[in-house]
Amino acid sequence: MIRSLLWSALVLSSAIALANDSAEYPSLWHSSDPELQQQLDSILHSLGYDHAIQDKRMAVALVDITDLARPKVAAVNGNTMMYAASVPKLAILLGAFVEIREGNMALDASTRNSLTEMIRFSSNLEATRMLNRVGKQRLIEILQSNEFDLYDLEGSGGLWVGKEYGKSPAYLRDPLHNYSHGATAMQVARFYYLLETGQVVGEELSAEMKGILSEPGINHKFVKGLDHYPGVEIFRKSGTWQRWHGDSALIEANNRRYIVVGLVEDARGGEWLSRLIQPIHELMVSMK
């Protein structure tokens, strides 16, 4: 009985702390920056991506979070939901840490290793293992919860996992767009912002999540594009399946921090994302 009361008090205090954290930071939905938007538009135009953007085969979100309390947002097709391959493994990571926060799962060596393999090396086996540990319906509830609102039934959707990562059929496609693994660039950017501001599962567990997102194990897309820039730290999850390519990252360099998300439907998508990150990075680290 005493242990139950203590746990209830801990959950209540955590909820109060998260509410206070949330009050300190603005919503990315209300943080658009016209100057950053113009600069992003110029970069995309210079790279020749206009047709892909017009056809909604490319979506990009860019957020300057050097000052966490004053994020600056630019996006192109930011609320267009696309098939996102392994990028929604971020949702499974979130679900696991919510269950850890609630005391339903332990962050032991086995769990940490499974999550690390899923994120850094995009292991489908570990993604499916962790999805089933969290629970398929439970994960959907977490994504749609008022706490995170990472899949918005009233809006354009967002992060969605409705299929194991393997050959099994989808068990629940997203109700708005019928994707098995889907995302919008803005909702993925929100995931990173909530994480960086400690609004996901509190500061201590958020630091654990960020550690798992560090040291990317696959050198392509954003990572490949940034490999010759000095002093860059990347916290990242990418995805690839057939002609669909995605990458998402929180990037730290030169005392600056930014979030960038790119989703592309094109066989050349991986190369496009490698090219895209270079002028974006040069812009973001040079800003005052």
Which of 192, 208, 196 shows the shortest CA–CA distance to 261?
A: 192
How high is the pLDDT of residue 23? 61
**Distance separating alpha carbons of residues 139 and 136, to the nearest angstrom:** 5
Q: Which two tokens stand for residue 62?
A: 């860019």
Residue 150's closest CA among 189, 116, 115? Answer: 189
Q: Which helix (H) or strand (E) holds 174?
A: none
197, 21 contact by CB (below 8 A): yes
- Residue 189 near residue 259, CB atoms below 8 Å: yes
> Which structure tokens are listed for 121?
């090396």
Q: What is the pLDDT of residues 133-149, one digit of tens each?
A: 999 999 999 999 999 99
For residue 278, pLDDT over 70 is answered with yes
Average pLDDT value over all residues in the chain: 93
* Mean pLDDT, rounded, for 123-131: 98
pLDDT, residue 18, reads: 41
In sequence order, the β-bridge partners of residue 247 are 238, 262
Which residues have C-beta within 8 Å of that of residue 3, sequence separation ≥ 6?
A: none
Look at residue 95 and tell me whether its pLDDT is greater than 60: yes
pLDDT band at 22 (very low <50, low <70, confident <90, very high): low
**pLDDT(216) > 90:** yes
pLDDT at 11: 37
Q: Give the separation between CA 209 and CA 204, rounded to whole angstroms.
A: 9
Architecture of the domain delimited by 27-286: 3-Layer(aba) Sandwich (3.40)
Intra-chain end-to-end CA distance of the chain, in Å: 55
How many residues does this entry show for the chain?
A: 288
Give the rounded percent of residues in the chain with a pLDDT score beyond 70: 92
Q: Locate tokens 């399946």: which residue?
A: 241
183: its two tokens? 């995302």
Residue 223 has pLDDT above 60, yes or no: yes
pLDDT value for 19: 42
Say whether pLDDT at 212 is over 70: yes
pLDDT tops 70 at residue 112 = yes
What was the pLDDT predicted at 288? 73
- What tokens were used for 87? 């990028």
Is the distance from CB of 65 to CB of 59 less than 8 angstroms? Answer: no
How many C-beta neighbours within 10 Å does residue 115 have?
26
pLDDT of residue 287: 87
Q: Residue 2 has what pLDDT?
A: 35
Query: What's the pTM value of the predicted model, to 2 decimals?
Result: 0.92
> According to the model, what pLDDT value does residue 157 have?
97
Closest CA relative to residue 157, chosen from 89, 94, 82, 240: 82
Asked if residues 261 and 28 have their Cβ atoms less than 8 Å apart, the reply is no
Give the tens place of pLDDT for each residue, 30-74: 999 999 999 999 999 999 999 999 999 999 999 999 999 999 999
Instruction: Spell out the domain ranges in the chain.
Output: 27-286
